[in-house]
Structure 1
Amino acid sequence: MPLSERQLDAFADQHAGQIPFDTSPRHLAGPGDARHVTHGLAAAGWATVSDPLSAEIVMASHDHRYRLQFDPQSATSAWWRLRAAPTDSEHGWYAEFGELVPAEVLAGVTDALIAPASPQPDPWQSVTSAGWRRDEAGAAHSQDAMCHIERRPRSEFHDRPSWHIEVRDAHDTQYPGPRIWHAYLDEHVPDHLAGAFLGALTDQSPLQRGMFDRTAHYGAVRERSPMRPQQVVDAHTARVKVLRAQARAVRRQQTAPATPPAPTTAVQPAVRR
């Protein structure tokens, strides 16, 4: 079922009544509004295939290859699960994200999944540009030493490196504190999707949160945003429109018939008289 005006109006009604606060760093900003993810997918033609009366949301792409599950009652620490089924030419893959991952950061992955794939030669590029520290093992650490990004090497069980991201309390630098949230992207997640997640995570611009929204940690910095509530709503609406247009363009490209070769005109031999 496509995204309806009523659903967009419900998002607008809620956010129009909230005073936005710029919240940073992103890994401590808290979950935000899950509709940053689900509205984008619905606008791209994904269908909700779960029980509408359940707290669990399951969405599937129009070709049924991709599925996103959001389960706030999960008995595990992974509330979001994203899966791709294998095809004749591509591996299947799996990614999961914890309860407190910011929805805007997860939307970096789902937005990239909707858009035409773009070359991403080095997923680390955005992490390096943001000034995150790299250690001798190659892992990256945020400036506050709370978020850690690791690409674990190949092993006898995995033919490609997998991504592991964790946010932990850093009250003691020698002994990491409890885990706040995590993300895992398996060895077959395409590099452009991993790069989209890392880019959204390490982006230094703040995320907007309401005054009483939950953050992931008391160390998050909150300042009154120069954005007005309506600007937050307008940015969401504009993004949804872009995603809808991108998805339509991709589907048209996939279903367009192959262009037949141009006919050639045979040269007739001259008739002798």
Structure 2
Amino acid sequence: MPVSERQLEAFADTHAWRIPFDTSPRYLAGPGDGRHVTHGLAAAGWIRTSDPLSPEIVLTSPDRRYRLQFDPQSATSAWWRLWAEPTDGTSWYAEFGELVPAEILAGLTDALIGPPPSEQPNPFRSLGWAGWVIEAQNSAVSLDGMCHVELRTNRVNGSAPHWHIETAEPLAGRLGAQIWHASFDEHTPAHLVEAFVTALASPAPLQRGMYQRTAHHSAVQKPSHPPTRQQALDAHTTRLDALRTQARAARRRQQPATTTAPAPPTSTSSALRR
């Protein structure tokens, strides 16, 4: 499902005419534009398998292995859900709250399209490099105390550790009211968690328009230089082109090697030999 010219034009119009502000920390920037996620997956060949007239969006990967749901009418705190169907007997699931910034979620979906890294993933290493406080071997917290990353172990049922990320109101010594969350079950590939965490902890601000919703009143906003319409369009299409190329390369790697068998003799050649 390629992104159409009309959809690209609409994206450019949205971002070219807003008065932009650099917003940080990025985990408080608010949801932003979900098309950072949906356009990226569409460029990689994912198709919409939900009712086109419904506010719910379900995108399915070309091999039918992955499915992403965005449901703004969800009765739970999770508006984004990602499923992986089993291929080697293992499936996994992840969910994300309403106020998760789309650019952070796109860090994960972009990594889902590309090949896994060659080195062993370590989400806590990425957080340490970004200056977060590593509280123990299984948890880290942002410097303002509002975002926590934890590798949880359920001691009751003995399940494998799973990742939980939560942004919440700061309270002395504990978490306050939840702002948004992200949860990954125990089978989620670690390199996808690391991609999400790396995007989460990046010091680069996210751009939000004037009056656009942020996740918390303590988010810091500074006026930013507005892009021209063409600059907004070029930046978006460059990213989509890169994702399209990655997806094609990944599909080529997954195709089994084939050998060409010699063609059987035609009836004419058989008659000549007789």
Equivalent position amino acid for 1:127 in 2: L
Say whether the 8 Å CA contact 1:19–1:229 is kept in structure 2.
Answer: no
Aligned to 2:56: 56
Equivalent position amino acid for 1:109 in 2: L
Aligned to 1:7: 7
Alpha-carbon shift at residue 114 of structure 1 (Å): 0.5
Structure 1 window deviating more from structure 2 (15-24 vs 193-202): it is 15-24
Could you say what secondary structure the match of 2:176 adopts?
coil
Give the number of the structure whose residues are more often strand, by fraction.
2
**CA RMSD, Structure 1 to Structure 2 (Å):** 1.7
Aligned to 2:167: 167
Q: Number of residue pairs matched?
A: 258
Could you say what secondary structure the match of 2:123 adopts?
coil
Alpha-carbon shift at residue 153 of structure 1 (Å): 2.5
Alpha-carbon shift at residue 157 of structure 1 (Å): 3.5
Equivalent position amino acid for 1:205 in 2: A
Say whether the 8 Å CA contact 2:124–2:134 is kept in structure 1.
Answer: no
Judged with a 3 Å threshold, the aligned counterparts in structure 2 of structure 1 residues 249 and 182 are, in CA distance, closer, same or farther, namely same
Aligned to 1:28: 28
Looking at structure 2, the residues matched to 138 and 247 of structure 1 have their Cα atoms a distance apart, in angstroms, of: 33
When normalised by structure 2's length, the TM-score is: 0.89
Per-residue displacement from partner, 1:202-238 (whole Å, max 9, x unpaired)?
Answer: 0110111111210000100111123524434432221
Looking at structure 2, the residues matched to 257 and 137 of structure 1 have their Cα atoms a distance apart, in angstroms, of: 43
Per-residue displacement from partner, 1:54-105 (whole Å, max 9, x unpaired)?
Answer: 0100000001010000000000000000000011x25100000000000000
Judged with a 3 Å threshold, the aligned counterparts in structure 2 of structure 1 residues 226 and 13 are, in CA distance, closer, same or farther, namely closer
Structure 2 unpaired stretches of 5+: 261-274
Looking at structure 2, the residues matched to 113 and 30 of structure 1 have their Cα atoms a distance apart, in angstroms, of: 23
Equivalent position amino acid for 2:181 in 1: H
Judged with a 3 Å threshold, the aligned counterparts in structure 2 of structure 1 residues 64 and 227 are, in CA distance, closer, same or farther, namely same
Alpha-carbon shift at residue 155 of structure 1 (Å): 4.1
Equivalent position amino acid for 1:106 in 2: L
Aligned to 2:46: 46
Structure 1 window deviating more from structure 2 (34-43 vs 218-227): it is 218-227
Aligned to 1:17: 17
Looking at structure 1, the residues matched to 89 and 109 of structure 2 have their Cα atoms a distance apart, in angstroms, of: 18
2:216 aligned with 1:217, yes or no? yes
Equivalent position amino acid for 1:209 in 2: R
Could you say what secondary structure the match of 1:177 adopts?
strand
Say whether the 8 Å CA contact 1:19–1:228 is kept in structure 2.
Answer: no
Equivalent position amino acid for 1:35 in 2: R
Looking at structure 2, the residues matched to 36 and 81 of structure 1 have their Cα atoms a distance apart, in angstroms, of: 16
Judged with a 3 Å threshold, the aligned counterparts in structure 2 of structure 1 residues 112 and 137 are, in CA distance, closer, same or farther, namely closer
Judged with a 3 Å threshold, the aligned counterparts in structure 2 of structure 1 residues 223 and 93 are, in CA distance, closer, same or farther, namely same
2:184 aligned with 1:185, yes or no? yes
Equivalent position amino acid for 2:127 in 1: V
Structure 1 unpaired stretches of 5+: 261-273
Could you say what secondary structure the match of 2:73 adopts?
coil
Aligned to 1:268: none
Aligned to 1:123: 123
Aligned to 1:67: 67
Equivalent position amino acid for 2:197 in 1: L
Looking at structure 2, the residues matched to 161 and 226 of structure 1 have their Cα atoms a distance apart, in angstroms, of: 43
Aligned to 2:272: none
Per-residue displacement from partner, 1:134-157 (whole Å, max 9, x unpaired)?
Answer: 224631111110000000136464
Looking at structure 1, the residues matched to 233 and 190 of structure 2 have their Cα atoms a distance apart, in angstroms, of: 31
Looking at structure 1, the residues matched to 186 and 133 of structure 2 have their Cα atoms a distance apart, in angstroms, of: 23
Alpha-carbon shift at residue 161 of structure 1 (Å): 1.2
Aligned to 1:108: 107
Say whether the 8 Å CA contact 1:20–1:229 is kept in structure 2.
Answer: no
Judged with a 3 Å threshold, the aligned counterparts in structure 2 of structure 1 residues 229 and 23 are, in CA distance, closer, same or farther, namely farther
Alpha-carbon shift at residue 252 of structure 1 (Å): 1.8
